[in-house]
Amino acid sequence: LKYRCTASNEAGSVDSSTTISLNIPGDQWAWMQVAPKDTLAKKGGIARFDCIYQSADVLEWYFKETGPLENNTRIGILPNGSLLIHKVRLTDEGWYSCVGIRGESTAVPQKYTAKLVIAYLGEVGGDSLEPPGVNQRVVAEGNELQVACVPPHSVPRATVRWLTPTGPHPSDTLTVPATGQQDAGNYTCVVSNMADTKHVSFDLVVATPPKIIKGPTKVSVGEGEPAWLHCQFSGMPPPLTSVVWLRDKMPVHTHVAHNGTLHLHATDVSDRGEYVCVVNTTSIPPVYSKPATLFVKEKLKFSPRPVDKKLELGSVKKVYCKAQGADPPVIKWMKEGTDILHMDFPDHVQDMNGTLFFNQVQEEDKGRYTCVATNSQGLINATIEIDVVVTPKFVVLPQNPTDAFEGYPVIMDCIAEG
């Protein structure tokens, strides 16, 4: 008989790697001389169990208590009693028992067992690396690179080695104390056992700090005009190195060209401020340029542009015209058909720095009015149409309630004017 030590807890159980054969002497059964041993085989390979009895007239093999096994295209029992399994399958894994039977004995024969284990190697990928990740890793020049390759669950235990640009590295943890350009390249972790060999790779880029060759200079443009702020730098190619801009220490959300140039297609007054070019390289602290000021000269414009109005006859109304520019503009109203030399409005109308004030709107107030704004930048104007309207008003309302008789006509008066 064969004995094996098994340990178990809540996490699972494990068998000892060796077994103990117990041979009980006696003339009533065959004696074991060579007991079968646990065997590790590769899928598709050959597995062999040896079993030799003394004084055995018949030797039988059983698989998981099923048998006796017989010779076929995959399973063969040799004349010396050894069991051969060809083209091993996963379903062949398990316990095999060898039984030696003495012909004239009526005693229960002794049985010896051994286990067939199919070798396998788990999956290997980016998660096998610590820290995890594949494709590309960026390390600043002079910094340490340390990557561990953790082998997956496997039988037998897998071996790990690294293939590096500077040669093989026979360890599961790859360490480069101070990276240099000679260390850049492909790194491959090779995990293998008798079942298979698998790889996981990454490319190492050794990054160098960027330098700003020529930073931005102050720029002055008119509102609505394009502006360019340049930042000439050297460094790693994109996307490892990229440029962002800050305006008054806040990010500028505008596309930046690969050469670092910031292009503002149509500047606004809100674009004024101090601009700083920031060059970022992966794994390296950012590099900042000296600040440069962008001046945007505000153009003369209406804010907002006046629009047509309908004024209620007899009401008190205001019509606004507002403008702004680099200098505070002077704003005046003119009515079409009025002598340009005598632009005074009637007594009930006043032009108060761009605001037309109507005190009791009159019928003759209708017409085309032009707002003119001037300053040192020039002159702008906007013409609107003012119409004088009378809102409809009821002068006679129908009687409520109104009595009516079935079959007779009914008259309800409703009169409005306007």
3-state per-residue secondary structure call for 145-192: EEEEECCCCEECCCEEEEEECCEEECCCEEEECCCCHHHCEEEEEEEE
User: In this prediction, what percent of the chain has a pLDDT beyond 90?
Assistant: 73
Interior/surface letters 233-262, b for 16+ CB within 10 angstroms, e for the rest = bebbeeebbbbbbbbeeeebeeebeeebbb
Residue 196 or 339, more confident: 196
How far is Cα 402 from Cα 405, in angstroms, rounded to an integer? 10
What does the pLDDT look like over 287-304, one tens digit per residue? 999 999 999 999 999 999
374 — pLDDT class (breaks 50, 70, 90): very high
Q: Name residues whose C-beta falls within 8 Å of residue 12's C-beta, 6 or more positions apart in sequence.
A: none
Say whether 127 sits in a helix, a strand or coil: helix
Say whether 126 sits in a helix, a strand or coil: helix
For residue 407, pLDDT over 60 is answered with yes
For residue 1, pLDDT over 70 is answered with no
How far is Cα 381 from Cα 24, in angstroms, rounded to an integer? 120
Query: What was the pLDDT predicted at 417?
Result: 74
What does the pLDDT look like over 228-273, one tens digit per residue? 999 999 999 999 999 999 999 999 998 898 899 999 999 999 999 9
Say whether 364 sits in a helix, a strand or coil: helix
Which of 91-95, 131-135, 276-280, 323-327 has the least mean pLDDT? 131-135
What domains lie within the chain, and their CATH numbers? 32-120 (2.60.40.10), 126-207 (2.60.40.10), 211-297 (2.60.40.10), 301-389 (2.60.40.10)
Owner of token pair 């008054």: 248
Instruction: Let me know: does 274 contact 248? Beta carbons within 8 Å.
Output: yes
How far is Cα 131 from Cα 341, in angstroms, rounded to an integer? 84
Instruction: Let me know: does 3 contact 24? Beta carbons within 8 Å.
Output: no
Query: What was the pLDDT predicted at 23?
Result: 60
What does the pLDDT look like over 317-356, one tens digit per residue? 999 999 999 899 999 999 987 765 556 889 999 999 899 9
Residue 13 or 251, more confident: 251
- Which residues on neighbouring strands pair with residue 233, listed in sequence order? 212
Q: Is the N-terminal amide bond of 285 cis, ω within 30° of 0?
A: no
Instruction: Let me know: does 340 contact 334? Beta carbons within 8 Å.
Output: yes
For residue 418, pLDDT over 80 is answered with no
pTM score, two decimals? Answer: 0.65
DSSP state of 19: E
Q: Tell which residue, 298, 297, 309, 304, has the closest CA to residue 323.
A: 304
DSSP per position, 306-360: ---EEEETT-EEEEE--EE-SSPPEEEEEETTS-TT--PPPTTEEEETTEEEEES
Q: Name residues whose C-beta falls within 8 Å of residue 364's C-beta, 6 or more positions apart in sequence.
A: 346
Query: What was the pLDDT predicted at 44?
Result: 95
Count the neighbouring beta carbons within 10 Å of the beta carbon of residue 325. 20
| Averaged pLDDT for residues 388-414 | 84
What does the pLDDT look like over 355-364, one tens digit per residue? 999 999 999 9
Residue 174 or 343, more confident: 174
DSSP per position, 41-88: E-TTS-EEE--EEES-SEEEEEETTB------SSEEE-TTS-EEE-S-
Query: What was the pLDDT predicted at 406?
Result: 84
Query: What was the pLDDT predicted at 71?
Result: 93
What does the pLDDT look like over 182-191, one tens digit per residue? 999 999 999 9
How far is Cα 257 from Cα 259, in angstroms, rounded to an integer? 5
Query: What was the pLDDT predicted at 26?
Result: 60
- Which residues on neighbouring strands pair with residue 98, listed in sequence order? 61, 112
What token pair was written down for 386? 């003012």
Query: What was the pLDDT predicted at 106?
Result: 72
